[in-house]
Structure 1
Amino acid sequence: MAFKIFMCVFPLPLVSLPPLNCRKCMRYVAGDVLYVLARKYPGFEYAALVRSENSAARVREAYPNVRVVLGSLDDADLLKREAAWADLVLRHHNNAADASDHESAARAIAAGLVEGHTESRPGYWLHTGGTGILTYFDTVENRFGEPPGRIFDDLDGVEVLTSFPDEAFHRNVDKVVLECGTAHADMVRTAIVCPPTIYGNGRGPVSGRSRQCYEMAKVILTKGYVPIVGTGLATMDNVHIQDLTQAYILLIEAALAGNASPELWGARGYLVAATGEHVWGPLARTMAAKTQEMGLLKGDGGIKEYQMSKEEALETAGFEALSWGLNSRCKGRRLNKFLGWKAEHPSLNDEVPGIVRSEAKRLGLL
């Protein structure tokens, strides 16, 4: 019997989103994972939740053997049925901008996994959270553009990551996943994967563009200044999209092998997929310098810096710009220790020319 995967990752929300627009990032990550899976494991049975006919047509064209499931995250019965059918559910968070991740969808998936699986045939749930949860302490203290205050650790400090305050980004759905993976550990194995800032071109059929760094390049290209939030010393972790995809592949292969390690699943199954880190101010300066070198800025003078307040950042590029003033740092050691995951693709700094080039092409400047 073929291994069955339900990818609850392509839906478009029924309501418009705030500026962060995580639905695009969601499709970006999901598309890259499916690109690799479909080639490496063509014998698997795949089902993908898709909200719009337009996206459905693109998925069908790229992957004729994928069963498209038209629906939304509000279709609880559908989600429950598909989760019961699948051996593994891959689901991304919905909307990080206001921390309103779709909790009812998560509960429907949990119910379906419990209903459709047994100890002899366990179900697996790979849920994508995000290290946006780590910005909680900056936001609650109204700190923007300041140096980092603390570094988390997903190996020695995993209990801290699984016990954030309820109002933190993603926490409402994290709790549902953790509860399912502990209360029903004999039949459902859960893992929460938390990527930080993602960069690199995605290989999926719907969206190949990430957000934070690409919006920074857009501001530099269109407004002609270096955007700095506060002191510019806020720091975040990062990961190349193809390295992130490999983390999912390793977890799926662990599921295939029947790996039931409590270090990967359940109460301790909280894995930060970070391979590097960057400071937002220096990154903006590097990006602006590369933009000048490529001849994409008008005028002969040097590009000036513009220091933004929290309100100006939101007005300039929504939550993406605000994130340039937030800290999110965590030692992502669990994936490496237990699955041998490591960076194999260019660093964010090395990728800067490619980010500028791709954004310039998207804007019609190249």
Structure 2
Amino acid sequence: MTKVFLTGATGYIGGDALATIVAQHPEFTYSVLVRDSDKAEQVKAQYPNVQIVLGNLNDSSILERESAAADIVLHTADASDHVGAAKAIAAGLVAGHSKEKPGYWLHTGGTGILTFDDTDKNQYGNRSDKIYNDWEGVDELLNLPDHAFHRNVDQLVLEAGAKHADVLKLALVCPPTIYGKGRGPVSGRGRQVYELAKVTLQLKKGPIIGAGQSIWNNVHVHDLSDVYALLVDAAVAGRTDPGLWGADAYYLTENGEHIWGELAQSTAEAAAKLGYIPERKTEAFDLESAKKYAGFESVSWGLNSRGRAQRARKILGWQPSRPSLLAELPEIVRSEWERLQK
């Protein structure tokens, strides 16, 4: 019986991925890492048959043990930035598997890795025409600057996938801005756009960083979960298609893009139409001022992160089909309004 070990079940990405995979494969055995007993009870309420592993990402021995015992590891909890967890998962997969029975690692990165040029130049809100892609242009992704955001963990993961290619089958999934209601047991809320909506409601105007021309990809959380589910199916089937696994198996998971300034305008318009703010209004902010309201999330509103997700479409037959970000925006604003009333 296939065993899946998942980190981040109480989070937005991991919770929705778990919902998708359990629905498609109730016959699998699942173990999930959860930090505390209260959240564990919420997970068990939705998934009575899931095994709870109490611990956190600093518990290397637990991560190694569970990764060694699992056929598939789906790592979503702070996966793009926690070095220790990545090392422990790699060690466990290598220790517990063989060429005859490899372990599969579905690692979650993030397209913040593509923003280094803006941050190097200390420029925010300007448009970039640079577009990466994960198929013909994968070599460029594999050779991004060492100081790029998330790059240290990506390197560690990719090196493990190269060094132990026979034993450890790697897929590095890089989501951009994620939106849509998550179906997980605890968190169903995204970050960047949700914080934008929250700040718009608080200030009664949409915040724009600089000229507001920076561009970022987006994907619906359900479409993102389909990528994980398709990779799980490929692992169970023992597929070995070229480019499916390994040190160049970068999966950019976008289904469109938005201009941050236009999104701020649309968010204010949605809030005004719903009667939450008096009028559609925006205001330009410098980065430091915006950070006072939304912290690190506001930084992304001034950065460019553009890519094309060809790999999942070509190899996995991924066909994202959920509503667009603009179509979901009124519901995002409504959900943030309700959160602020609590």
Question: Quick check: TM above 0.5?
Answer: yes
Cα separation, 2, equivalents of 1:160 and 1:62: 42
- Measure the CA separation in 2 of the matches of 1:231 and 1:239: 24
CA contact 2:31–2:50 (8 Å) conserved in 1: yes
Shift of 1:150: 0.9
SS at match of 1:175: helix
2:50 is aligned with 1:74: no
Q: Whole-Å Cα distance in 2 between the matches of residues 360 and 41 of structure 1? A: 36
The counterpart of 2:293, out of the listed 303, 306, 316, is 316
2:130 maps to 1:146: no
- 1:110–1:177 Cα contact (<8 Å) kept: yes
Which residue identity lines up with residue 305 of structure 1 in the other structure? T
Q: After superposition, give the CA deviation of every residue in 1:268-290 in whole Å (9 maximum; x if it has no partner).
A: 21000000100001111111112
User: What one-letter code is carried by the residue in structure 1 that aligns with 2:337?
Assistant: A
Q: What residue identity is the alignment partner of 2:37?
A: E
CA contact (8 A) 1:5 1:87 kept: yes
Q: Which residue of 2 aligns with 1:282?
A: 262
Whole-angstrom distance in 2 between the partners of 1:73 and 1:291 = 38
Is 1:254 matched up with 2:231? no
The alignment partner of 1:266 has SS state of coil
Looking at structure 2, the residues matched to 89 and 5 of structure 1 have their Cα atoms a distance apart, in angstroms, of 6
Cα distance in 1 between the residues matched to 2:175 and 2:199: 24
Superposed CA deviations along residues 37-85 of structure 1, whole A, max 9, x for unmatched, are 1221111010001111111111111111111001111111111111110
> 1:224 aligned to 197, 204, 208, which one?
204
How far apart in 2 are the matches of 1:326 and 1:150?
12
Structure 1 segment 230-309 matched on structure 2, within 5 A: 230-298=210-278, 302-309=279-286
Structure 2: distance between partners of 1:216 and 1:268: 34
Residue number among 301, 315, 322 corresponding to 1:345 in the alignment: 322
Give the direction of change, closer, same or farther, for the CA distance of 1:262–1:244 in structure 2 (3 Å limit): same
Question: 2-side partners of 1:304 and 1:294: how far apart?
Answer: 14
Deviation at 1:93, TM superposition (A): 5.3
Shift of 1:149: 4.0
Aligned residue number for residue 19 of structure 1: none
Residue type of the partner of 2:207? P
1: CA distance, partners of 2:306 / 2:78: 22
TM-score by length of 2: 0.97
Tell me by how many angstroms 1:305 deviates.
2.2
Give the counterpart of 1:132 among 107, 112, 116.
112
Q: 2:92 — aligned with what?
A: 112
CA RMSD in angstroms comes to: 1.4
Q: What residue number does 1:199 align with?
A: 179
Deviation sequence 1:278-321 (CA, Å, 0-9, x none): 000111111111211111114xxx44321111111111211111
- 2 CA distance for matches of 1:352 and 1:346? 10
Q: Corresponding residue for 2:72?
A: 88
Quick one: distance in 2 between partners of 1:258 and 1:338? 14
* 3-state SS of 2:295 partner: helix
Q: Within 1, Cα distance between the matches of 2:291 and 2:184?
A: 29
Q: Deviations over 1:313-352 (max 9, x none)?
A: 1112111112100000001111001111122100111111
2:13 — aligned with what? 29
For residues 240 and 11 of structure 2, the distance between their equivalents in structure 1, rounded to whole angstroms, comes to 29
Q: Is the 8 A contact 1:93 1:170 kept in 2?
A: no
Partner of 1:102: 82
Aligned residues: 342
SS in 1 for 2:247: helix
Structure 1 gap segments, 5+ residues each: 11-25
Within 1, Cα distance between the matches of 2:315 and 2:237? Answer: 14
CA distance in 1, matches of 2:231, 2:200: 38
* 1:60 aligned partner: 44
Q: Percent identity?
A: 50
Whole-Å Cα distance in 2 between the matches of residues 258 and 110 of structure 1?
Answer: 20
Q: Does the residue aligned with 2:64 lie in a helix, a strand or coil?
A: helix
Q: Which runs of 4+ in 1 moved over 4 A?
A: none
- Deviation, 1:228, is 0.6
Residue of structure 1 aligned with 2:304, choices 327, 333, 352: 327
Mapped to 1, the partners of 2:79 and 2:68 lie a distance apart of: 25
Paired AA for residue 322 in structure 2: H
